[in-house]
Amino acid sequence: MKKEKKMLSAYTIVFIFLIITAGLTWIVPQSVVVNHDGTKEVIYNAIFNDSGEVLKGLGRQPAGLWDILMAPVKGFEKSSSVSIAILMAGAFLGLINSVGAMDAGIGALLKRYTGTTLIAILMFVFAVFGSVFGFWEEIPAFSIVIVPLFVLAGYDVITGLAVLTVGATAGNMASVVNPFSTGAAIGAIGNPDLSLGSGMVMRMILFVVLYIIGLVFTVKYANEVKANKEKSIVADIDVNTMTHDQGHLPELTKKRFWSVMVLVGIIVLLICGYMPWYEIKFANGTTFQDIINTPIYFLAEIPILGDLLGAKHITPLGDWYFGEFSFVFFLGSILIGFINRIPEEKFVKEFAAGAKDLLGVVLVLAIANGISVLMGGKTSGISVTFVYWIQNALQGIPGWAFSVATVLAYVGIGCFLQSTSGVAGITMPILGAVAMALFQNSTIGVVGGQVMLISAFTLGINFMSGLYPSATTMGTLELFNVPYDRYLKFILKIFVSMLAVGCIIISISQFLGLI
């Protein structure tokens, strides 16, 4: 009996890239960047010695077995701030799921709303989930309840699947504060001037527009099916509606309600924390950041209470980074524990289990960042050589062309590797440096160029994730006996429309002052 071929895991694929990178160090010479009175110059085939002097002609510095195995260790150190943010988010999600709060919240929406309103609300919820923590692997579990209820409401299986997949994909493609894609990309680029707040306004606009596009297509199809069942894409197929085995969501108790409110509060805090309020300036020289942080400054001045809260050490809203992201989810986990009166032993168990679920992402990120360790940094390494070559090839290319080409490149990459954190770690050290070189003298500057790059990455890679026959997608379709080609027939035109409009928004963002 012939063995079925399986795809390599993300770990293996990324490690293969690590080995390939090590091989390149034997062929591609390192180069360095020197600064002459503010003017940066690349010196090809050169390295810095321990004293910072440039040694020409010594660029080839081959990486051996020690370097290859040490690279993921150094990569873990490099990605530590992003890694702890991912683990804290996972721990929180594990806790809130363990008390049934998210399921109960969805169930309350299903009981209260119907028709187009229900489609709009649920799609928005799943889009927010995608944009905040990369909602996708959870789709099969939710589909067991969501899809049958839409069938019972007079729609079809595809409508229920669309609410989940289109909503989640819209959120993932925008990834406003998603640590697994946007956060991983920022960490891999390594620019200290870049944070989750950089380009947030543009990503929020991208989120709203993509959500509306997905909603319009879904509602149009749903209404057509409700009026005429023959309009269903699966009308001629004996699908499994699962209405005979309809799942039931837990009741929205008082404890679960307040647990949901903790999640809502976290989302609001993240947006407030990363929003660049300092960009809103007033005539007297102050900014909106001074106003929105007034309560924090007030608390800091209160004797005893201010010290007990540590108010003087709170990072002002608008200046948050990964540490604050971790703090908010850690605080949320503690609040979930108190609200639900979770015993200490169970709390620790669920907290650790939630973090454990995302440990794989952290390990992929560590290996991927090991690639950037072998590649080098912004001022020396084979990364500088590649940037030097690519910059010469792209000299004079307009920003919009760079963003469109990058989106298409990530669509292609998504055909082979689905790990967003892994792709970010592999590609961002090079493309981030290319964006720095291309945009350093432009009106949007280095940060603006890298923001365009990151949004092009999340748009392209998550577009492909929505189409890719992954375990999540195929497993969900198998539950309802929906053929993959029928799913593609429905979803492709929606996702292509979202991709095209997303490309336009990213391309013109520099002209609209969004970055």
pLDDT-derived band at 7 (thresholds 50, 70, 90) equals low
Residues in the chain: 515
Q: Quick check: 1 pLDDT over 60? A: no
Handedness of CA 447, 449, 452, 457 (dihedral sign): negative
φ, ψ of residue 70 in degrees (nearest 5): -80, -25
Query: How many angstroms separate the Cα of 404 from the Cα of each of 186, 219, 328, 460, 507?
Result: 20, 29, 35, 10, 7
Per-residue pLDDT of 73-121, as tens digits, reads: 998 888 788 889 889 988 998 899 899 888 888 888 878 888 899 899 9
- Residues 108-121 pLDDT 10s: 887 888 889 989 99
**What angle in degrees, to the nearest 10, is found between the helix axes of 322-339 and 80-98?**
20
Return the percent helix, strand and coil in the chain, to nearest 5.
70, 5, 25
Residue 422 has pLDDT above 70, yes or no: yes
Instruction: Give this prediction's pTM.
Output: 0.77
Cβ count within 10 A of residue 346? 13
DSSP line for 438-500: HHTTSSSHHHHHHHHHHHHHHHHHHHHHHHS--HHHHHHHHHTT--HHHHHHHHHHHHHHHHH
Contacts of 510 by beta carbon, 8 Å cutoff, 6+ apart:
399, 400, 442, 443, 444, 448, 452
CA dist 45 → 41, 313, 372, 438 (Å): 13, 46, 19, 21
CA gap 81, 321 in Å, rounded: 9
* Alpha-carbon distances, residue 224 vs 156, 232, 243, 373 (angstroms): 10, 8, 21, 54
pLDDT of amino acid 167? 96
Encoded tokens for 68: 């290859």
Return the closest-CA partner of residue 59 out of 89, 31, 19, 100: 31
Residue 287, strand partner residues: 281
Residue with tokens 């609001």: 268
In terms of pLDDT, which residue wins out, 79 or 164?
164
Tell me the per-residue pLDDT of 430-454, one tens digit each, with 9 for 90 and over: 888 888 888 888 888 889 999 999 9
Instruction: Name the token pair of 183.
Output: 């956060």
